Chain A
Amino acid sequence: MNPTVIAARAGLTRGWIEFRQSLTNYNDLAGYILPNAIFVAVMYFQRHATIPGMPVSLGARTLPSVLGMSVGFGLILLAQQLAVEREDGTLLRAKATPNGMLGYLIGKILTVTGMTLTGCLVSFVPGVVLFGDVLTDDPRAWLHLIWVILLGFAATLPIGAVLGSLLSNPRHLGLVMLPWMALVGTSGIFYPITAYPGWAQGIAQAFPLYWLGLGARSGLLPASQAALEIGGSWRHLETAAVLGTWAIMGLILAPVVLRRMARHESGSAVEARRERALQRSGR
């Protein structure tokens, strides 16, 4: 059989194995549960809070917003794993294996997608228990949610790969994490964006995070809720356009940056990073 096909299938196996590992590992489990426990607590305390003109409670509005944000969190996970696995030599091993980079990347995308979706479910399932009666039962809206999630992955994962390749050191992840948190703050995840100053709205609308939250809300909340969004509409066309643009940019950029990163991997590069890391944490 074609070696590329075999490597791609090995990548699928790899993705499944590493996803399974994330479910049986103390650190990863804590990573699934802790942040989502906080989100669920926020929704719980917001369950009776309302703003004038809003048909559902603030808590019910937060549920889809957090879902959208959690999809985007795949970006952070992928950047982090790439930076860590470049430092520890996993990537060099992939490079030393025939078609290993292909298998590695397919595996990584699958693992991160699985981890991200699991993270989404950890907050979504309790959220549905809290607000199930408020959510829309229109099947077309749920279909809409599915394309928003798929396009959201396409818009964010390649960017995560680019950022992970550019990080020279996993300890610099804060350079990705801090702007991310700032964006969460301005993207109307926990409070309607229309309450924010215009410049903050402008910044938020340039990035996928806001559109992921908006898209998820449009999929799960009753249509009347759209009145609280910018322009009083779910803006499906704009959602598709912005997420699509990020996806295309990422898919063009990611192969170039990944290839450049892979080219620079060698035993001595890994050794140098290892020395540096041991000096930091050695004693």
Chain B
Amino acid sequence: MATVQRSGAPARAAEPSSESAVVEVCDLRMRYGSTDVLAGLTFQVHRGEVLALLGPNGAGKTTTIEILEGFRMRSAGEVSVLGVDPKHGDEAWRARLGVVLQSWRDHAKWQVRELLAHLGVYYAPYSTERIRRPWEVDDLLATVGLAQHANKRVGQLSGGQRRRLDVAIGIVGRPELLFLDEPTTGFDPEARREFHDLVHRLADIDDTTILLTTHDLDEAEKLADRIVILAGGSIIAEGSADQLTRRISAQAEIRWTLDGQRFVHATADSTAFVRNLFQQYGDAIGDLEVRRPSLEDAYITLVRDFEAGRTTTAVRDFSEVVR
């Protein structure tokens, strides 16, 4: 499954549509004037999966997610979201999606409960045997941790509470697929932690598929089952956080001191090396440290390689590692 798609390669990379693919994107292109914002993306998101689109600012993350949401037209390529082309998505299709928007000062005069109850009404006709829509308001308030603020006016909520309301509005229709665009921008660490817990809970309940964009590596690593790294409108790597770091380097770095002197050694088999080290020097070894490359290392290397114009080489290297 962990294939790396060559940027710009047409249908070849597309896998036969599988039952479980909630989102299928094939050779998606977006062009403004003579600038390619998206230069041929191909990827899938599977049912129940949390996929993070990771990349520097201007990589095309938001453009991609807005095309999938049906809020933006594309220049070329095939896109299917819940089996429908977003270009032709009707209201019944829209009812199966959740979009978490960043609130600012909209609905400031509304009460929290009143607003959620109101927005839920629109989803009622799209309730099915399997998925009861909308989410019952008190239950939803408890899920996002806003129960004690139910009667507050939206304009009186704190920043963190407001973002939880944004999530509540995004999921009030019990979406099968949820979009989160840069969800924790401007959060303090505590709010971020709470938000991550909430997303984990959502992914567990109802098997909701989640597609999020972020430029925060830590966030991608914590939340995502799989990460797609975007740079300059192309996918430059794809895989779990673990796979991505292994691709950048299979070697771990080992540091230790011996008789007050510092040593560093890189090796693929760190366990054997350390065992050997102790056998040889025993108690004389101090300050032992085994460090594997982090997702951050992998990301920085990938993006730097890409920006240095070595994309094609980098992608080829990774493809070879995978095979």
Contacts and interface: CB of A to CB of B under 8 A. Distances in A.
Interface of A: 1-3, 6-7, 9-10, 13-14, 17-18, 21, 25, 85, 88-90, 92-93, 95-100, 103, 265-268, 270-271, 274
A230 B263 CA distance: 101
A266 to B, nearest CB: 4
Contact of A93 (B65, B69, B101): B101
Given A21-B109, A85-B106, A96 B122 contact: no
Given A1-B125, A266-B71, A17 B102 contact: no
B71 A267 contact: yes
Given A17-B114, A98-B92, A6 B124 contact: yes
A98 B126 contact: yes
B101 A267 contact: yes
B57 interface: no
Contact of B106 (A6, A89, A100): A89
Among B63, B109, B110, B123, max chain A CB count under 10 A is at B109
Contacts of A9: 121
A92 B119 CA distance: 13
B173 interface: yes
A267 B181 CA distance: 8
6 contacts: A6-B124, A88-B104, A89-B103, A98-B126, A266-B71, A267-B65
A103 B114 CA distance: 15
B99 interface: yes
B66 A266 contact: yes
Contacts of A25: 109
Nearest to B123: A98
Nearest to A91: B106
Contacts of A1: 125
A25 B69 CA distance: 35
A151 to B, nearest CB: 31
B102 A271 contact: yes
B103 A17 contact: no
A93 B181 CA distance: 14
Nearest to B65: A267
B118 A89 contact: no
Nearest to B96: A98
B: contact size bracket: 20 to 34
A18 B108 CA distance: 11
B316 to A, nearest CB: 33
B101 A99 contact: no
B188 interface: no
Contacts of B114: 17
A157 B94 CA distance: 29
A99 B91 contact: yes
A2 B102 CA distance: 30
Among A89, A98, A266, max chain B CB count under 10 A is at A98
Contacts of B124: 6
Among B99, B101, B110, B126, max chain A CB count under 10 A is at B101
B119 A97 contact: yes
B127 to A, nearest CB: 11
B158 to A, nearest CB: 18
Among A18, A99, A267, max chain B CB count under 10 A is at A267
Contacts of A21: 109-110
A97 B122 contact: yes
Given A265-B71, A267-B62, A3 B101 contact: no
Contacts of B104: 88-89, 270, 274
A90 B71 contact: no
B95 interface: yes
Contacts of A274: 104
Interface in B68-115: 69, 71-72, 91-92, 94-95, 97, 99, 101-107, 109-110, 114
A33 B118 CA distance: 30
Contacts of A268: 62-63, 66
Interface string B51-71: 000000000001101100101
A103 B126 CA distance: 16
A93 B97 CA distance: 13
B96 to A, nearest CB: 9
Nearest to A269: B71
Contacts of B110: 17, 21
A92 B121 CA distance: 17
B228 interface: no
Among A17, A21, A265, A266, max chain B CB count under 10 A is at A266
A-B CB proximity, top 6 nearest: A266-B71, A3-B125, A98-B95, A90-B106, A98-B91, A96-B99
A3 B91 contact: yes
A274 B104 CA distance: 8
B201 to A, nearest CB: 22
A18 B118 CA distance: 12
A6 B122 contact: yes
A271 B66 CA distance: 13
Contacts of A270: 101-102, 104
B4 interface: no
Interface string B120-159: 0111111000000000000000000000000000000000
A98 B70 CA distance: 12
Contacts of B181: 267
A237 to B, nearest CB: 43
A10 B99 contact: no
B26 interface: no
A98 B173 contact: yes
Given A85-B106, A89-B106, A100 B122 contact: yes
